[in-house]
Amino acid sequence: VRALAGAPRVALALPLPDDADAPAALRAVAEGALLGGYRFAGYKTRPQPARRQPVAEVLVAVPDAGDAGAQAEIARAQVVGGAVRRTRDWVNTAPNELRPPSFADSVADAAREAGLAVEVLDEAALAAGGYGGIIAVGQGSEAPPRLVKLSYTPAGGGNGKRVALVGKGITFDTGGISIKPAQGMWEMKSDMGGAAAVAATMLAVAALKPSVAVTAYLPMAENMPSGRSYRPGDVISMYNGKKVEVLNTDAEGRMILADAMARACEDGCDYLFETSTLTGGQVVALGKRIAGVMGTPELCERVRAAGDAVGEPTWPMPLPDDVRKGMDSDVADISQVNAGMDRAGHMLQGGVFLREFVTPEVTWAHIDIAGPSYHSGEPTGYWTKGGTGVPVRTLLQLVEDVAANG
**Residues 142, 104 within the same domain:** yes
In whole angstroms, what is the distance from residue 280 CA to residue 347 CA? 7
Is the domain of 160 the same as that of 267? Answer: yes
Whether 171 maps to a domain, the answer reads yes
Per-residue pLDDT tens for 188-247? 999 999 999 999 999 999 999 999 999 999 999 999 999 999 999 999 999 999 999 999
CATH (domain of 362) = 3.40.630.10
Show the domain range for 17. 9-76
Secondary structure (DSSP) of 101-163:
HHHHHHHHHHHHHHT-EEEEE-HHHHHHHT-HHHHHHHTTSSS--EEEEEEE--GGGTTS-EE
Could you check whether the bond before residue 54 is cis, i.e. omega within 30 degrees of 0?
Answer: no
pLDDT at 392: 98
CB atoms within 10 A of CB 348: 25
Q: Where are the beta strands (DSSP E) in 153-202?
A: 162-167, 169-173
| Residue 342 binned pLDDT confidence (cut-offs 50, 70, 90) | confident
Q: Is residue 364 part of a domain?
A: yes
102, 32: one domain: no
What span, in angstroms and rounded, lies between the C-alpha atoms of 305 and 299?
10
Let me know whether 60 and 122 are in one domain: no
Alpha-carbon distance values, 62 to 68, 75, 143, 172 (Å): 12, 14, 50, 45
| 263 assigned to active site | no
If asked whether residues 27 and 113 sit together in one domain, one would say: no
Number of domains in the chain: 2
Residue closest to 173 by CA, chosen among 164, 162, 181, 165: 181
Q: Tell me, yes or no, whether 89 lies in a domain.
A: no
| Domain stops at, among 76, 108, 124 | 76
pLDDT tens readout for residues 345-392 = 999 999 999 999 999 999 999 999 999 999 999 999 999 999 999 999
- Give the per-residue pLDDT at 21: 79
Q: Which of 1-10, 55-64, 130-139 has the lowest mean pLDDT?
A: 55-64
Of the candidates 34, 150, 10, 23, the one whose C-alpha atom is nearest the C-alpha of residue 83 is 34
Do 198 and 262 reside in the same domain of the chain? Answer: yes
Answer whether residue 85 is part of any domain.
no
Q: What is the mean pLDDT of the chain?
A: 95
Q: Are residues 290 and 241 in the same domain?
A: yes
Q: Are residues 262 and 397 in the same domain?
A: yes
- Count CB-CB contacts under 10 A for residue 199: 30
Q: How many CB atoms lie within 10 A of CB 17?
A: 11
Catalytic residue (choose from 2, 180, 288, 385)? 180
Q: Across-strand partners of 165?
A: 216, 273
- Active-site option among 146, 189, 254, 302: 254
180 is catalytic: yes
* Same-domain check for residues 222 and 349: yes
Residue 378 CB: number of other CB atoms within 10 A?
8
Position 2 in a domain? no
Beta strands at 291-295 and 363-368: parallel, antiparallel or unpaired: antiparallel
307 located within any domain: yes
Does residue 86 form part of some domain? Answer: no
Cβ atoms < 10 Å from Cβ of 308: 13
Q: Quick one: pLDDT band at residue 16, thresholds 50, 70, 90? A: confident
Domain boundary among 20, 49, 76: 76
User: What pLDDT is stored for residue 24 in this prediction?
Assistant: 83
Domain identity same for 47 and 121? no
CA–CA gap between residue 309 and residue 286 (Å, rounded): 19
Residue 170 resides in a domain: yes
- The whole-number pLDDT of residue 65 equals 65
Contact between residue 59 and residue 34 where contact means Cβ atoms under 8 Å apart: no
* Listed residues 25, 50, 76: the one ending a domain: 76
In tens, the pLDDT along 26-66 reads 899 999 999 999 999 889 888 888 888 899 999 988 877 66
State the chain's maximal CA–CA distance in angstroms.
Answer: 69
> Are 214 and 202 in contact, with CB atoms under 8 Å apart?
yes
Residues 233 and 351 in one domain: yes
Burial status of residue 341 (CB atoms within 10 A of its CB: 0-12, 13-18, 19 or more) = middle
Do 283 and 143 belong to one domain? yes
